[in-house]
Amino acid sequence: MGRTVFAWTIGVVYTLFWSSVGIITWPFSPRGELYLSLARTWSRWILATLRIPLSVESQATLEPDQPYIFMSNHRSIFDIFALFLATEHSLRMVAKRVLFFIPIFGWAMWMCRFIPIDRSDREKAIKSLENAARKIREGISVLVFPEGTRGPGEPLLPFKKGSFMMALKAGVPVVPVVVLGSEDVMGARSLRVGHGAITVRLGMPISTAGRGAHARDDLMREVRVAMEAMMAEPVAQPTSGK
């Protein structure tokens, strides 16, 4: 119980602090790049304070100037911290619209140009994904959770189709990603914060160039197979954090 109270306390304090800094400094970086850097510092502080090691494994060297769509499984709130630190690209996240109405934190998400999505409204969800595709074509990478919500871990939940249509419209490579171990730190339906190490695995990019809307189901299958293969590999004991 003591660790959980401590974790939530520092989580709230760090989030309010760095979100406020992001809001104050927004005029100096209206496209959100500075806030993205602050978000990574926020993530690093939380993992370091809670002594949660992070290991990052990549199957390929990603081009620094190439936008990608990172598609990850989702097991825990701690996935967010790990993914911010595991990726080095100019990254925006597709997130539930309700999060954007949280005072200070939500305002900062708007300013960082994260992409809200309301899956309960199909028309609005389609517009959000079209907005995301436009950002990608402008050179910004996007992080999306194709399961649509946090799941128990294995097996993967069914994928939402919209993310894959977005990828095909944007015409940029999709990078399958898996986060392992975060559910030991904090489960999908739990408020308890425990101990554990997190591993992020970045898979081989999957090309979408020249593939039309008819390739949606094939792309979904390719991403799922890649993610399941990475999840099945044993996790090495981490020797250092990110």
Please give the torsion angle defined by the CA atoms of residues 65, 97, 162 and 203, in that order, rounded to the nearest 10 degrees.
40
Higher per-residue confidence, 225 vs 210: 225
What is the tens place of the pLDDT at every residue in 29-87? 777 678 888 889 999 999 999 999 999 999 989 998 899 999 999 999 899 999 999 99
How far, CA to CA in Å, does 17 sit from each of 51, 95, 177?
20, 21, 29
What integer is the mean pLDDT of 221-225?
96
Which domains does the chain possess? 2-232 (3.40.1130)
Q: Can you give the pTM of this predicted structure?
A: 0.87
Of 30-44, 97-111, 214-228, the least confident: 97-111
Query: Cα dist. 80→61, 86, 100, 149 in Å?
Result: 22, 10, 15, 13
Residues 6+ apart with CB under 8 A from 117: 94, 95, 96, 97, 124, 125, 128, 129
User: Could you tell me whether strands 198-202 and 174-180 are parallel, antiparallel, or unpaired per DSSP bridges?
Assistant: antiparallel
Round to the nearest angstrom and report the end-to-end CA distance of the chain: 27
CB atoms within 10 A of CB 8: 13
Given a contact cutoff of 8 angstroms between Cβ atoms, the answer to whether 77 and 188 are in contact is no
**C-alpha 201: how far from its chain's center?**
13
Angle between helices 33-49 and 2-25 (to 10 degrees): 160
Q: What is the pLDDT of residue 240?
A: 45
In the numeric block, which tokens belong to residue 132?
A: 């995301």
